Structure 1
Amino acid sequence: METKRFTEHDIKEAAAALRLGNLVSFPTETVYGLGANALSETAVKQVYAVKGRPSDNPLIVHVSDKEMLEKYVDTLPKQAEELINHFWPGPLTLIVPMKKGTFSSTVTGGLNTVAFRMPDNALTLELIKEAGLPLVGPSANTSGKPSPTTAEHVLHDLKGKIAGVLDGGSAEIGVESTVLDLTDSSSEPTILRPGAVTKEALEKVIGNVRIDQHLLSEKETPKAPGMKYKHYSPEVPVWIVQNTPEDWNKAIKWAADQKLKAGIFAGKEILQLFDGPLIEGYSFGMNTVEQAAKQLFSGLRALDETDVELIFAPAFPETGLGEAYMNRLKKAANQKYFKN
């Protein structure tokens, strides 16, 4: 199959491909999604096949506006209304009860709930409107690998397997949306996956919110994407390093002593400390969690395509966006920290 790179001038063609049941990747402010008609079981099954994704993993349904969402839910919870008014379009996914008979189990993972999101990307909102369909949109990559934040990443993984990718440049945020479960009326709303919309931001709108810290095993059925224990992983092992010059020195010295070529994903001031034939660096610029989160997946992908034998990446405090960054990094590293 030829995979076309669509531009803003090709949205009608991309929408037509989606209506025909084909797969088209689309840009969002978080990562690139793999779009398919959410109402077509055949189209959605292609998503699982192309990604190599377990079919028990529910998918997020992307809509162009609140009116499209309302077609597929019986009653929208009051808290959902408040959050939509405050955060949509944006990096917030809401899990709500679905209207019976609307989406197949290929979308819901066999649950009676659906995750909805309205992405903050003008090209993709136009694409959804033009298609006239809600679109599933898991990350457009091989399942378990670092998520794509550019059209080039999508083509690297899925060229020849999908109809096309709508090129919207680099994703602004770089980590997937916050997923909030609103389906248990007896419990506080629960963050199942942290993202750029933080617990603190949510609580300013709807009051108390809790974070589900439980890491699913491979045998458990997730209620939202990205909840598996290991995820977002490159081919070579990833180790988390405490982000101080002393800890970086210990890690790099240990790798050199083992004669292992190390990939370093770090801020420019850390990278300036190291040089040599057994080092491959990827700078995310200023040593901030915002920059690290935006380039985490790009950095892991880039280093994985070199001849490094392991990758070191920095820890950041787990507050604000750091909660989302560390959630992804811990899964990429399979929870492994470097300890001298």
Structure 2
Amino acid sequence: MDKQTERLERHQVDQAAEILRRGGLLAFATETVYGLGADACNGTAVAGVYAAKGRPAFNPLIIHLPDLAAAERFGVFSPLARKLAEAFWPGPLSLVVPVREGAGLSSLVTAGLDTVAIRVPAHDGARALLSAFGGPVAAPSANPSGGISPTRMSHVLDGLDGKIDGVLEGGDCDVGLESTIVLAGEDVALLRAGGVTVEDLEAVLGQAVARPEDPDTPKSPGQLASHYAPDAKVRINARERRADEVLIGFGAVAGADLNLSEAGDLAEAAANLFDMLRQADGLARQQGRSIAVSPVPMTGLGLAINDRLTRAAAERR
């Protein structure tokens, strides 16, 4: 029989933390997307995350902590990593750093790697939860693996109701895209574009950031080639709508069924992306169509938006 999903209001942080302490699965809001959290030191709980999502066990997880001091108990920070943490935490940046010896993390969190991805979220509710729990919380996006990431509590329940123990309500997610992930050691390499732009990273570092490697051998979360995918087939960089397509526009696009940002604002587009993919998928199912998406500039947040769209449009495996 399916478990009951407990729906908690924002003020019920202590009850939410207790779900994590007893090894349960809790969805909670961050500024990026809703995460599906488990005690990162409890292997059984982390295995439950993989099971609920149907996630490949070779795809590592991000751990979430309330501040840099807590993060340094689990990862070894180089001067460059610390510089980025001080500049962008709390916020939508995950740093991949060496695992600290004796950290006690489940091996399922790192997927057998000697590094770990760490983030300090900016969402007040998430930070309150992390402080109340008092340990690392492994939390990928709270949706079935490969599907569209959730930016509202209703999105979480659409995909995972009955498979998890609770959802801590936290409103709609402000950023609407997952965190940027960088490998931060003696140099810095971009592993996934996200809520912090490459331009922002390079401005703080005063040096270039290397670009991603082969997505079929993930060194961090979110690197699988087919990911963030609706059920309907997706065509990107569409300059016209075909008769059998639902069109998601960007900017001044005539005849679009939905529009990420009529004003051509990349921040607005990022915040709307996953919700509009869900809406378009619903329309496509009803009408027996596929999805087309207008071109989005490859600058600033556009890099992250195009990354998600490319993965959504990739051949399914």
TM over 0.5, shorter chain: yes
CA deviation vs aligned residue, 1:99-130 (integer Å, no higher than 9, x gap): 12422220001001111000010001000111
Residue matched to 1:282: 258
Q: Residue type of the partner of 1:98?
A: V
CA deviation vs aligned residue, 1:186-212 (integer Å, no higher than 9, x gap): xx3101001121122112222223242
Taking the TM superposition and a 5 Å limit, the aligned residue runs for 1:318-329 are: 318-329=298-309
CA deviation vs aligned residue, 1:293-335 (integer Å, no higher than 9, x gap): 2111111111212314201112222111111111111111118
SS in structure 1 of the partner of residue 182 of structure 2: strand
Contact 2:46 2:106 (C-alpha < 8 Å) held by counterparts: no
Residue matched to 1:16: 18
Looking at structure 1, the residues matched to 280 and 70 of structure 2 have their Cα atoms a distance apart, in angstroms, of 40
Give every structure 1 segment of 4 or more consecutive aligned residues whose post-TM-superposition deviation is greater than 4 Å: none
Contact 2:192 2:212 (C-alpha < 8 Å) held by counterparts: no
Tell me if 1:171 matches 2:173: yes
Residue correspondences, number: 309
Which one has a bigger Cα radius of gyration? 1
Contact 1:149 1:171 (C-alpha < 8 Å) held by counterparts: yes
SS in structure 2 of the partner of residue 241 of structure 1: coil
Residue matched to 1:277: none
Q: Residue type of the partner of 1:291?
A: E
Q: Residue type of the partner of 1:170?
A: D
Q: Residue type of the partner of 1:223?
A: K
Q: Residue type of the partner of 1:304?
A: D
CA deviation vs aligned residue, 1:5-44 (integer Å, no higher than 9, x gap): 2112211111111100001011111111001001101100
Residue matched to 2:190: 191
TM norm structure 2: 0.93
Structure 1 unaligned runs (5+)?
Answer: 275-279
Residue matched to 2:32: 30
Tell me if 1:301 matches 2:303: no
Tell me if 1:311 matches 2:311: no
Residue matched to 2:157: 155
Q: Residue type of the partner of 1:332?
A: A
Residue matched to 2:246: 263
Q: Percent identity?
A: 41
Residue matched to 2:232: 236
Residue matched to 1:224: 220
Looking at structure 1, the residues matched to 144 and 176 of structure 2 have their Cα atoms a distance apart, in angstroms, of 17
Looking at structure 2, the residues matched to 267 and 328 of structure 1 have their Cα atoms a distance apart, in angstroms, of 15
Residue matched to 2:90: 89
Contact 2:296 2:306 (C-alpha < 8 Å) held by counterparts: yes
Residue matched to 2:43: 41
Cα deviation for residue 267 of structure 1 reads 4.2
Residue matched to 1:330: 310
More divergent stretch after superposition (135-144 vs 199-208)? 199-208
Cα deviation for residue 164 of structure 1 reads 1.1
Contact 1:191 1:209 (C-alpha < 8 Å) held by counterparts: no
Contact 1:265 1:314 (C-alpha < 8 Å) held by counterparts: yes
Structure 2 unaligned runs (5+)?
Answer: none
Cα deviation for residue 215 of structure 1 reads 4.1
Contact 2:189 2:212 (C-alpha < 8 Å) held by counterparts: no
TM norm structure 1: 0.87
